[in-house]
Amino acid sequence: MLMKYIHLIILVILGLTSCNSNISEKLNTIDNLLNQEKTDSAFQELQTIFTSDLKEEGDRAFYNLLKTRTDYLKNIPLLSDTLINYSINYYQKEKDDNRLSEAYYYKGACHYYDGDYTEAVYNGKEAEYHAEKTDNKSLQYKIYDLLAYAYRSTGNYTLALKYDLKSLKITTALGKYDWIAYTMSSLSEDYHYINKIDSSEYYIRKSEPYINFIDQEDQAYFYYNISLLYKKKDRQKAKYYLHRSLAIKPLAYAYNELASIYMSEGKNDLANQTMAKGMNITTDDHKIELYQSAAEMKAQQHDYQTAYELMRKMEQLKDKNTAKDKMNEIYQIQAKYDHEILSQKYQQEILIIIYIVSIGLLLLLIQYTLKKYKLSKDKKNVLQSQLLINIYNEKINALKGSKDKSDHEIKELKNKISELQDKQSRILYEGQKLFEQIESGETVIRWNKSDFIHFIEYYKVKDLPFVNHLENDYDDLSPRYKFFEILYHMGKDDQDVERILAISKSTIKSNRTRIKAKLIAQ
């Protein structure tokens, strides 16, 4: 009988080991598919893994990284940092610089395509720091490329140039001709914007021998860019490269440039036909630019009636796009709400998820309608509640001292004060729960801005002078920075803060420097 139980136990252990092994093999298969640029196959394989099967912490971290990477490659927006932050926290703990730099890179890349260039740079720099400890040159290239794009998008072309030059050094050493072509194109753009035209032209010309190594569709854009170099110097060469571009792919702005050349040559009919071709294939966004070019061309031909009609269409299209943009923002908010519920289901109870997403949606709507709104809703409510309590108390005192005092009005004011105090009590209750979570060893990975504010409001009960010091002696510290300082005030050390905030030692140093800079001189 005893042997029977021993055999059963062994079978269970083997089954569990086999299951974990199977998950690890699947994850490695997905990683290999992504390395081979088989994104769709990797995406399909990911769908076969249930998050409930991810028993090991390392498997969960790897799964989260692969999911973030796949979503990025399939242009699926990063609607929450929770998954990738889990990976970052795990790889920091394991001191795995290769995977850690990769996690930071994909987090930064997702934020870049979401338009959050500050987060893109921050995570890109973290990725750079860890990648340079490894020999992974391909990953280093991708990180440098991301930082160059992020800096270029913010108008910092000098820093963009620095990283594009680093990219070119790596791509040349690796012999990756397609990467060389893209990097040289970026260098041409960098030099153009810092007004070094000779260097800009040098790199766009130098990229020409490598064009055949890039995707055929992208070749059309390269030839179009080369045509712009010759537009004023050599019209025949400009036309040659425009025709090469259009032979690969019909680009509306290539037709536009070709039409303007025909116009300058006095070939009005050919110019009109070419402009019409561009107008027929372009999107509404680019059609506005084409309408303007066509109107200017018609004005030069003294066809002022047609020019006027084109300008009127351009204005109508602008109005239409403005309305469409507003609708798109609404759809994006709704998509964020829907996706958040699905992606968080395995980590939290559904009621907690709905609560967090609702708070996130509310904050998004506030940000959409009030762009310069700096204080969160909860913090404003606390301040407004206290202000109203003071005003109502003053009114009660005034009524009590007046000859025509109204007991009914005094009672109403006291009821209002009671309601406001109840609201403040709820915020303190939320803050107490969060305080107890930190004391019991939990992290802030799932926290949002409101959670930090609730925590700080509760900590005023524990140590009001210290919170007053943070609010009065510093120039507008963010809730996260206040929380950072409170952790040390609570007796936490650097390792505790790293774990709680899921940040690195370098980030701790950076936070201290930024907080110190906000200290108001006494």
Query: Residue 112: how many CB atoms within 10 A of its CB?
Result: 21
pLDDT surpassing 60 at residue 88: yes
pLDDT at 292: 65
Residue 363's pLDDT band (cuts 50, 70, 90):
confident
In a domain, 53, yes or no: no
3-state class of 165 per DSSP?
A: helix
Residue 476's pLDDT band (cuts 50, 70, 90):
confident
Average pLDDT across the chain, whole number: 78
pLDDT tens for each residue of 19-66: 456 888 889 999 999 989 899 998 898 888 887 788 889 999 999 999
In a domain, 467, yes or no: yes
What integer is the mean pLDDT of 311-315? Answer: 65
pLDDT tens for each residue of 423-439: 666 677 788 888 888 88
In a domain, 364, yes or no: no
Query: Residue 163: how many CB atoms within 10 A of its CB?
Result: 24
pLDDT at 346: 46
Spatial CA neighbour of 388 closest among 427, 429, 416: 416
Spatial CA neighbour of 459 closest among 476, 440, 481, 482: 482
| Residues 251 and 223 sit within 8 Å (Cβ to Cβ) | no
**402 versus 144: which is more confidently predicted?**
144
Number of structural domains (the chain) is 1
CA distance 100 to 87: 8
What integer is the mean pLDDT of 216-232? Answer: 84
Record the tokens describing residue 317, joined without a space.
Answer: 């299209």
CA distance 181 to 211: 6
Radius of gyration of the chain (CA): 30
pLDDT surpassing 90 at residue 105: yes
In a domain, 149, yes or no: no
In a domain, 275, yes or no: no
**293 versus 350: which is more confidently predicted?**
293
Spatial CA neighbour of 188 closest among 211, 217, 213, 216: 211
* 249 phi-psi bin (left φ>0, alpha ψ -120 to 50, beta other): beta
In a domain, 440, yes or no: yes
3-state class of 503 per DSSP?
A: coil
DSSP assigned state of 521: P
pLDDT surpassing 50 at residue 376: no
pLDDT surpassing 90 at residue 282: no
DSSP assigned state of 402: S
CA distance 398 to 391: 11
Residue 318's pLDDT band (cuts 50, 70, 90):
low
Domain hosting residue 506, numbered range: 374-517
Record the tokens describing residue 153, joined without a space.
Answer: 């998008």
In a domain, 401, yes or no: yes
Record the tokens describing residue 350, joined without a space.
Answer: 């559904």
**146 versus 416: which is more confidently predicted?**
146
**168 versus 440: which is more confidently predicted?**
168
pLDDT at 331: 47
Residue 449's pLDDT band (cuts 50, 70, 90):
confident
What integer is the mean pLDDT of 220-247? Answer: 86
Residue 90's pLDDT band (cuts 50, 70, 90):
very high
Record the tokens describing residue 258, joined without a space.
Answer: 């070709």
pLDDT surpassing 60 at residue 11: no
pLDDT surpassing 50 at residue 190: yes
CA distance 82 to 90: 12
Three-state DSSP string of 69-89: HHHHHCCCCCCCCHHHHHHHH
Number of residues that this document lists for the chain = 522
pLDDT surpassing 80 at residue 393: no
Spatial CA neighbour of 227 closest among 196, 252, 250, 204: 204
| Residues 301 and 268 sit within 8 Å (Cβ to Cβ) | yes
What integer is the mean pLDDT of 238-265? Answer: 85
CA distance 410 to 388: 14
pLDDT at 15: 46
Q: Which of 78-82, 296-300, 355-359, 451-455 has the lowest mean pLDDT?
A: 296-300
pLDDT at 8: 44
* 95 phi-psi bin (left φ>0, alpha ψ -120 to 50, beta other): left
pLDDT surpassing 60 at residue 124: yes
Record the tokens describing residue 280, joined without a space.
Answer: 């027929």
| Residues 246 and 258 sit within 8 Å (Cβ to Cβ) | yes
What integer is the mean pLDDT of 268-297? Answer: 69
CA distance 419 to 38: 59
pLDDT at 512: 87
pLDDT surpassing 80 at residue 135: yes
* Residue 357 identity: V
Place of tokens 């351009």: 314
What integer is the mean pLDDT of 367-375? Answer: 46
Residue 417's pLDDT band (cuts 50, 70, 90):
low
Spatial CA neighbour of 186 closest among 170, 167, 169, 172: 167
% of the chain at pLDDT higher than 70 = 68
**216 versus 14: which is more confidently predicted?**
216
What integer is the mean pLDDT of 452-471? Answer: 84
Record the tokens describing residue 76, joined without a space.
Answer: 């699926």
pTM exceeds cut of 0.85: no
Residue 122's pLDDT band (cuts 50, 70, 90):
very high
In a domain, 215, yes or no: no
Q: Which of 3-7, 184-188, 346-350 has the lowest mean pLDDT?
A: 3-7
| Residues 145 and 183 sit within 8 Å (Cβ to Cβ) | yes
**520 versus 88: which is more confidently predicted?**
88
CA distance 130 to 87: 14
pLDDT at 6: 45
Record the tokens describing residue 252, joined without a space.
Answer: 């509306």
Q: Which of 205-219, 232-246, 393-407 has the lowest mean pLDDT?
A: 393-407
Q: Any residues with CB less than 8 A from the CB of 278 and at least 6 apart, and which?
A: 252, 253, 254, 255, 256, 259, 290
CA distance 111 to 277: 36
pLDDT at 388: 54
pLDDT surpassing 60 at residue 499: yes
DSSP 438-458: HHTT--STT--HHHHHHHHHH
Burial of 300 (0-12, 13-18, 19+ CB in 10 A): middle
What integer is the mean pLDDT of 80-85? Answer: 88
